[in-house]
Amino acid sequence: DKEESMMQHDILRLEVKRLRQQLTTKSENLYSLENRKQQLQISMEEREKEIEVHTEVLRAQLRSAEEEKHKAAIELAERKQKIFTLKSKYDNVMCKVKKEEGGEQLSQAHYMIKAAQEKEELQRKGDELDDKIRRAEKEIRSLENTLGHLVQRNHKFKENLQTSNMQNQSELEEKQTLEEQSRAANEVLFKKKKVLTQLEQEAQEDVQRYEELQRSMQQMEAHVNELTAARDVLRQDIGTQAPKIERAQQTLANAQTRAIQSGVDLAPEAAAAVDVKARGLREQNQSLLFALSNALQDYGEDVLPLFENLCAERGVAMPSRPPSAASRPGSGR
């Protein structure tokens, strides 16, 4: 039994080993198959990409072919149109030639001769143009030679100028210094001119203010002279009224004496005394009004109308002649 069991065990071990080998083989086969599958899949993807690229190329070729076909169709239509146009022109030319030749049918030799004449004319014109071109080329070459001489002379002049510049460097520096000094002097002169202009403006303003003050002083002096003249006139009027007042007082004293001698009551409350005082005050007022009226005659535009309006408002009558002349008839009575 033990041997059988050992034998079975060995058999089983061998079977397990065989199965493991088979499993390993199957695993390797499976791995190789999977690897093959991956490679085939990669190949398929690459092939699909190639097919897609080839398809795009074919599509592009198809589009280009269609475009060429379209261009060919357009070119064919244009050429047909050109053929039709040339045919129409040919027909028109033939009709025109027939009309010019009187409707006669001309031979091909005539047209060849005419074409040869036109060719000779064109050849002659071409020869003339060639002559003009050759002359122009000669002129261009001469101009190029002249330009070369000018370039050489310009180069020599530049060299001489550089040499002279190197020699005159000190003079240039001195010139720059003098120019800087001149600019500084011009700036100072400009500032001084600006200050002078301001001073002139201020002086002109001062002169204008002085002239205004002079005019104001002249106006004030004229006004003072007018007031002084009015004052002198009033003083003269007052001086002329003084003798009249003395005569009136003398007349009053004489009248009082006669009244006393006649037995008239001259008490301050008496009617005669009051009447005499009233007449005296009236004459005095009339004299003052007449004097003021004469004095204000020179101010007839402003002061005199105001004075007359005040008198009219107060009910005071303005005398037209001196009160002494107005009172003489009453005293005669």
* Tens digits of residue pLDDT in 31-51: 888 888 888 888 888 888 888
**164, amino acid identity:** S
Q: Give residue 265's pLDDT.
A: 61
Q: Give residue 267's pLDDT.
A: 63
Three-state SS at 104: coil
d(CA 320, CA 318): 6
Q: Is the separation of the CB atoms in 282 and 327 below 8 Å? A: no
DSSP letter string over 206-231?
HHHHHHHHHHHHHHHHHHHHHHHHHH
Mean pLDDT of the chain: 77
Distances 162 to 60, 151, 155, 218 between C-alpha atoms, Å: 68, 16, 10, 77
Q: Is the separation of the CB atoms in 296 and 304 below 8 Å? A: yes
Three-state SS at 266: coil
Residue 106 has pLDDT above 60, yes or no: no
Hunting for tokens 């690897």 — which residue is that?
Answer: 35
Three-state SS at 10: helix
Q: Give residue 330's pLDDT.
A: 41
Q: Average pLDDT for residues 121-144, to the nearest whole number?
A: 82
The residue with greater pLDDT, 244 or 76, is 76
Q: What is the pLDDT of residues 276-333, one digit of tens each?
A: 677 777 777 777 777 777 777 766 666 777 777 777 777 777 777 665 544 443 443 3
Residue 116 has pLDDT above 70, yes or no: yes
For the ranges 21-25, 133-137, 181-185, the maximum mean pLDDT occurs at 21-25
Three-state SS at 106: coil
Q: Give residue 325's pLDDT.
A: 43
d(CA 190, CA 183): 10
Cα angle 316-322-324, degrees, rounded to a multiple of 5: 110
Domain layout of the chain by residue ranges? 228-264, 275-322
Q: Give residue 183's pLDDT.
A: 80
The backbone torsions φ and ψ at residue 105, rounded to the nearest 5 degrees and listed phi first, read -85, 115
Q: Average pLDDT for residues 241-248, to the nearest whole number?
A: 79
The residue with greater pLDDT, 283 or 19, is 19
Q: What is the pLDDT of residues 182-231, one digit of tens each?
A: 788 778 878 888 878 887 888 788 778 878 878 877 887 887 788 788 77
Q: Give residue 299's pLDDT.
A: 67
Q: Give residue 329's pLDDT.
A: 39
Q: Give residue 260's pLDDT.
A: 75
Residue 99 has pLDDT above 70, yes or no: no
Q: Give residue 313's pLDDT.
A: 78
Q: Give residue 100's pLDDT.
A: 60
Distances 152 to 138, 148, 165, 318, 319 between C-alpha atoms, Å: 21, 6, 19, 117, 119
Three-state SS at 292: helix
**71, amino acid identity:** K
Determine what percent of the chain is predicted with pLDDT higher than 70: 81
**72, amino acid identity:** A
Q: What is the pLDDT of residues 252-278, one digit of tens each?
A: 788 778 777 776 666 666 666 677 677
Give me 171's structure tokens. 């003079």
